[in-house]
Amino acid sequence: MGNQATCMSAEDVKEVGRSGSARKGRSQRKMRAEEEALHRQALAMAIQQHSQRFDGSMSRRILGANGKQNLPGVSSSRRRDLSESFAHLKLAPEIFDSLETKKIVLIHGEGFGAWCWFKSIALLEEAGFLPIALDLAGSGTNGTDANSITSLSEYAKPLTDYLCSLPENEKVILVGHSCGGACIAYALELYPKKISKAVFLSATMLSNGQRPFDVFAEELASADLFSPESKLLMYGNGKDVPPTGLKLQKHHIKGLYFNQSTAKDIALAGVSMRPIPLGPIMERLSLTQENYGSVRRFFIQTLDDRVLSPDIQEKMVRENTPEKVYKIKGSDHCPFFSKPQSLHKLLVEITQLP
């Protein structure tokens, strides 16, 4: 009698299964709808900025004056639902309180801007962190002409200005993507005591005396992007002197950077990416063990990367060994687009390392 009361018929089991599938379907549709809303708002903002450049940092437009994400038309509840659907990690209060810093400064790579971090910002903010995305010179909403940027110090000035303004007892975690790795390396040399950890995300993790271009040269030589005949090169000072910038075309961007990213992310990048200043990536870095070498470094490899192949990333790790290496499977050069959940989990894990 008791067994009959607790057992379910085959039809009952099917009904429960159908009910569970329906709930799962609704959850997935909700997740897609929320991500779609965030994409639409980010793309609308990028199109607006493409037609009229604004002064100031994109971080102020994304995060707002109160430090909260500020994409127009996306409510806090929508962001919360989106982050929950991304399965973000919520740290226990005692762990969160023990962190050395909750500030994570996100530094984009060549051609990108603070806009590219919009998924990571949403996830980190909902997890309780304080993400800050900066536009480097000539990038995003920064009005500097790429042709006028001749040095790494000029290019990285928004980052070094930010670090200089930090109180003496305050530290941040730096995350640099692609050529942004050279910028955070430069910052480590200048302000090692203000940086808790440095994360190189498929980035130029250089040795002393090395140029960012040296890392990319082997991989991109076959693409003829830097050949004298390349139509992508910009000559801001005239054809009789070295080129000043590089303007990638959409088919190069899609094939090199976004081979695993969605069409929506590629569309966002297509209206947001700006010319790449060549001066900073041709400059040799001066790095010392006392400064650069004193900060904890971590490297995140992207295993389906066509800009920096896994082999080149392995070579950088061997020649300039970080404290720990992480890997993201199925990610192109831009995991903040193609694998935002995996990237988020790794960033949260790195913040907790004692």
- Active-site residues, by number, are 178, 305, 333
Integer Cα distance of 288 and 285 in angstroms: 10
What are the b/e assignments for 68-104, b being 16+ CB within 10 Å? ebebeebeeebbebbbebbebbebeeeeeeebebbbb
Q: Which residue has the tokens 């993201």?
A: 328
Q: Which residue has the tokens 């980052």?
A: 159
Side chain identity, residue 71 = L
Integer Cα distance of 338 and 334 in angstroms: 6
Helix (H, G, I), strand (E, B) or coil at 105: strand
Integer Cα distance of 127 and 218 in angstroms: 39
Helix (H, G, I), strand (E, B) or coil at 107: strand
Integer Cα distance of 119 and 134 in angstroms: 15
Give first-to-last CA distance, the chain, whole Å. 57
Q: How many other C-beta atoms lie within 10 A of the C-beta of residue 173?
A: 24
